[in-house]
Amino acid sequence: MKKKRDLNQEKKILRPHLQPLESAGIRVRIERGDFKSGFCLIKEEYVIFLNRNLQIEDQIKLIDSFKEENQIKERLVQVKQEVTT
């Protein structure tokens, strides 16, 4: 029998990984379904969708990769501002 996962416990584990993204204004949604996790722009708002069916370790790896992408995006915005001033 498959062990039921506790969503509150998962959120507690993920919280330190999600905090930097959320403080940067990126919404994170943890959803159950038949989709791959992803990072997208919806109506000028960055949103990360995590598939709740993934193992917690895989969710953390994805979050960390999104943080790296966000750092690159921030750096590109900074460079663009430096060039225009």
Return d(Cα 27, Cα 49) in angstroms, integer: 9
User: What local confidence, expressed as pLDDT, does residue 83 receive?
Assistant: 64
Q: What are phi and psi of 2, to 5 degrees?
A: -75, 135
Q: Which residues contact 67 (CB under 8 A, 6 or more apart)?
A: 17, 20, 21
Q: Regarding beta strands 38-42 and 45-51, do their DSSP bridges make them parallel or antiparallel, or are they unpaired?
A: antiparallel
Question: Which of 70, 31, 74 lies closest to 49 in space, CA to CA?
Answer: 31
What is the reported pTM?
0.68
- Average pLDDT by stretches of 10, the chain with 85 residues: 67 87 84 83 84 90 82 63 66
User: What local confidence, expressed as pLDDT, does residue 1 receive?
Assistant: 47
